[in-house]
């Protein structure tokens, strides 16, 4: 049996989130040398065959420096202005650093709403999946020009967890300016001890996690909360000191660094619960024998050709139930087409989708990653 740290080394898809405190040397402007150091490590992780997504903060902090503002503004419109100015420098710095290793990167700006609205959820998911499949590193930040709550609280930890849920990521790494979660805030109590491992859902952890510093950040509280959210899709979270030499590469070699927060459930169980618990069933698809077997026994995606009937009204991204012709419930999943579109596509081979609808959203009605079999 592998221990938890060894299991970590086998992560094939990883989200690395880097906070403002680290990126900007506590508000002094972007720390380009440090950024180059993390990119060198991420390039190694990629060489090891891992897929990587980066969630980066720092747009507001960098914008403040560029605009000559000494203090983080309070008003949302000024925060948005700072973010818009700073995001330019942030993305340029990352892109230049990744380019040195021949790694392509892409800018993705998201709001939390994008990930709770079902249709936009699927859109964000397929765009990010495509980038990752192409070997591109998505560089994700909040879309601060349209976000108001997020920018006020300055919390990219939650965004990191939502991206983790979105793409079945195994490990979320929250890089920060402390070596991990301590049993008290080390800025206030120098004798505080590092917590090396815990369960994300442990309420005692939230109790010791304090808030952030002068840049108006979420601190450890939002990190533990993010770990809980990530655990909902079975992911583990590591809160890791970004200033420690080669922290990222050493972590994925199995070294006991940072705070590892574990999910209670296996990824599959967690994902099932997530799909089942958070969404209402909006429609029913009646499958023919071939499709029933493919979905239930072979874990395949559901193609339109195997659907005999579509019931109910639903939009792209909503949850539908698949049943066989004796009304037995087989599976449920997030559908790629609305009920009107699905009715037109039922019974048709996938290569006809474009002729019928005029466009192709996906070749399958429900992708197997978004499908959970009912036992």
Report the binding-site residues for substrate.
Answer: 57, 144, 156
- Provide the 8-state DSSP code for 349: -
Q: Among ligand ADP, ligand VHF, none, what does residue 186 contact (CB within 5–8 Å per kind)?
A: ligand ADP
Beta bridge mates, 319: 281, 334
For residue 24, the partner it binds in ligand ADP, ligand VHF, none, with Cβ less than 5 to 8 A by kind, is none
Is 216 a binding residue for ligand ADP by CB under 6 A? The answer is no
List 53, 122, 124, 181, residue binding ligand ADP (CB under 6 A): 181
Which of 16, 42, 60, 372 touches ligand VHF (CB under 6 A)? Answer: 60
Binding partner selected for residue 83 from ligand ADP, ligand VHF, none, CB under the kind-specific 5 to 8 Å limit = ligand VHF
Q: Does 19 bind ligand ADP (CB under 6 A)?
A: yes
Residue 60 and residue 20 in contact, taking contact as beta carbons nearer than 8 Å: yes
Residue 142 touching ligand VHF (CB under 6 A):
yes
CB 306 within 8 A of CB 265: no
**Binding-site residue positions:** 17, 57, 144, 156, 176-177
Measured distance CA(72)–CA(79) in Å, rounded: 8
Q: Among residues 50, 118, 125, 217, which is the contact residue for ligand VHF, using CB under 6 A?
A: 217
Residue appearing with tokens 């950024």:
35
Q: Given the rule CB under 6 A, which of 74-82, 84-92, 217-225, 286-294 is the region that contacts ligand ADP? A: 217-225
Question: In 3D, which of 332, 201, 336 has the Cα closest to residue 275?
Answer: 332
Residue 2: strand, helix, or coil? coil
Helix (H, G, I), strand (E, B) or coil at 53: strand
- When asked if residue 186 is in the footprint of ligand ADP (CB under 6 A), the reply is yes
Strands 13-18, 171-176: parallel, antiparallel or unpaired by DSSP?
parallel
365 contacts ligand ADP (rule: CB under 6 A): no
CB atoms within 10 A of CB 96: 14
Cβ neighbours of residue 157 under 8 Å, at least 6 residues apart? 17, 19, 174, 218, 222, 223, 225, 226
Please report whether residue 218 would count as binding ligand VHF according to CB under 6 A: yes
Residue 176 interacting with ligand ADP (CB under 6 A):
yes
Q: Which stretch binds ligand VHF (CB under 6 A): 116-124, 149-157, 233-241, 330-338?
A: 149-157
Interface with ligand ADP, residue 241, by CB under 6 A: no
The distance of closest approach from Cβ of residue 289 to ligand VHF in the complex, given in angstroms and rounded to an integer, is: 50
Scan residues 330-349 and list those touching ligand VHF (CB under 6 A): none
- Measured between alpha carbons, how far is 370 from 279 in angstroms, rounded to an integer? 13
Is residue 209 part of the contact set for ligand ADP (CB under 6 A)? yes
Residue from 212, 234, 258, 333 in contact with ligand ADP (CB under 6 A): 212
Interaction between residue 93 and ligand VHF (CB under 6 A)? no
CA-nearest of 223, 315, 310, 234 to 267 is 234
Backbone φ, ψ for residue 108 (5° rounding): -130, 125
Calpha distance 348→138 (Å, rounded): 35
- State the residues that interact with ligand VHF by CB under 6 A: 19-20, 57-61, 83, 141-142, 144, 154-157, 217-218
């Amino acid at each position: 049996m592998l221990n938890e740290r060894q299991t970590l080394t086998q992560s094939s898809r990883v989200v690395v989130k880097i906070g403002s405190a680290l990126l900007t040397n506590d508000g002094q402007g972007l720390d380009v040398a440090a950024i180059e150091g993390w990119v060198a490590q991420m390039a190694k992780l990629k060489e090891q065959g891992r897929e990587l997504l980066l969630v980066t903060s720092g747009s507001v902090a960098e914008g403040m420096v560029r605009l000559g503002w000494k203090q983080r503004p309070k008003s949302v419109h000024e925060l948005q202005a700072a973010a818009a100015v700073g995001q330019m420098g942030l993305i340029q710095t990352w892109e230049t650093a990744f380019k040195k290793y021949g790694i392509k990167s892409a800018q993705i700006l998201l709001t939390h709403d994008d990930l709770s609205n079902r249709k936009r959820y699927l859109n964000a998911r397929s765009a990010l999946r495509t980038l990752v499949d192409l070997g591109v590193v998505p560089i994700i930040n909040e879309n601060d020009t349209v976000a108001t709550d997020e920018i006020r609280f300055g919390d990219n930890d939650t965004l990191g967890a939502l991206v983790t849920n979105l793409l079945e990521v195994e490990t979320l790494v929250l890089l920060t300016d402390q070596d991990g979660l301590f049993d008290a805030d080390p800025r206030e109590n120098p004798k505080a001890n590092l917590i090396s491992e815990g369960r994300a859902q442990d309420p005692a952890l939230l109790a010791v996690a304090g808030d952030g510093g002068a840049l108006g950040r979420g601190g450890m509280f939002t990190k533990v909360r993010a770990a809980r959210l990530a655990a909902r899709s079975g992911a583990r979270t590591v809160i890791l000191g970004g200033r420690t030499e080669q922290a990222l590469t050493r972590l994925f070699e199995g070294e006991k660094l940072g705070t590892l927060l574990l999910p209670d459930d296996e990824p599959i169980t967690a994902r099932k619960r997530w799909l089942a618990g958070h969404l209402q069933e909006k429609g029913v698809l009646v499958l023919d024998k071939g499709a029933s077997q493919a979905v239930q026994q072979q874990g395949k995606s559901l193609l339109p050709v195997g659907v005999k009937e579509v019931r109910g009204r639903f939009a792209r991204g909503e949850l539908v139930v698949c049943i066989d012709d004796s009304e037995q419930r087989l599976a449920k999943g997030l559908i790629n087409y609305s009920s009107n579109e699905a009715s037109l596509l039922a019974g048709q081979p996938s290569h006809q989708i474009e002729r019928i609808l005029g466009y192709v959203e996906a070749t399958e009605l429900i992708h197997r990653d978004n499908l959970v079999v009912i036992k």
